[in-house]
Structure 1
Amino acid sequence: MFSIPGQSPVKISPAAERQISRLMQGKQAYGLRIGLKKGGCAGMEYTMDLVSEAEKSDEVIEQNGARVLVAPAAQMFLFGTEIDYETGLLESGFRFRNPNVTDACGCGESVSFSIDRDAPQG
């Protein structure tokens, strides 16, 4: 993964740590794999899947009982991202604060990067 020695390539907020840990325990999962796929009005959508094991090329980030796996094709797009979990009156969910995003759709479901033409397929 694209990284700086001594720094995690993806940061996980305390709220996200708690939610990821709860999800892992509830589904007896190894961790939460995050990635990207083509889609949405801005071009790319984040993916999140609970998985039973790591893939060979996954970047694994462990933090206070939470385990996040970054899919290989998404690593360069997610470097520097903070994963948070927000709870609101009408909706709750994970939020990605990604410094690599150059545009996002109005509904907040998809994003684009200046290097989208080299984006992962599927």
Structure 2
Amino acid sequence: MAVTLAPAAFARVQRFVSQSPGVLGLRFGVTRTGCSGWGHVTDLAREQREGDTVFEQDGVRIYVDADSLPLVDGTRIDFAKQGLSEVFVFANPNAAAECGCGESFTTDDSHRSTAVE
């Protein structure tokens, strides 16, 4: 599988990378958070870390750490306006359920991980 960017997310990440010296791409993963357990996190990747899996889409790289990969593999990242905010939106096939506010998600027991906490 892979982590992919929808056109709006691709354009946003490409712009961030091109305007930020020393940035290699997008860092994507999960952290323990919220009422459901896992939250998606994004940042600019300034280095490739040991154990990273790197997905490339038309020259834009997405870096995913080894602990997060089982929880995000297959995710399609989009970018949308929600009210006055602009946010990344995640279509994650590993998410079994989301909390009511949409900030965190759970997985089934087959995707246990010790991802970044």
1:106 to 97, 100, 103: 100
The 5 A counterparts of 1:1-122 are: 3=1, 9-28=2-21, 29-115=23-109, 118-121=112-115, 122=117
State how far apart, in whole Å, the 2-side matches of 1:115 and 1:76 are: 12
How many pairs are equivalent?
115
Identity %: 33
Describe the shift of the 1:18–1:118 C-alpha distance in structure 2 as closer, same or farther (beyond 3 A). Answer: same
State how far apart, in whole Å, the 2-side matches of 1:26 and 1:87 are: 21
State how far apart, in whole Å, the 1-side matches of 2:65 and 2:113 are: 13
Partner of 1:6: none
State how far apart, in whole Å, the 2-side matches of 1:18 and 1:65 are: 12
Structure 1 runs (4+) greater than 6 angstroms displaced: none
1:28-48 alpha-carbon deviations (Å, 9 max, x no partner): 211111111111011111111
State how far apart, in whole Å, the 2-side matches of 1:84 and 1:105 are: 19
1:55-77 alpha-carbon deviations (Å, 9 max, x no partner): 12111111123221111101111
Structure 2: tracts of 5 or more residues without a match: none
TM-score (norm. length: structure 1): 0.84
Tell me which amino acid in the other structure corresponds to 2:53. E
State how far apart, in whole Å, the 2-side matches of 1:93 and 1:43 are: 20
Describe the shift of the 1:110–1:14 C-alpha distance in structure 2 as closer, same or farther (beyond 3 A). Answer: same
TM-score (norm. length: structure 2): 0.87
* 8 Å contact kept, 1:17–1:65: no
* 8 Å contact kept, 2:71–2:111: no
Describe the shift of the 1:38–1:116 C-alpha distance in structure 2 as closer, same or farther (beyond 3 A). Answer: farther
Over aligned residues, Cα RMSD in angstroms?
Answer: 1.8
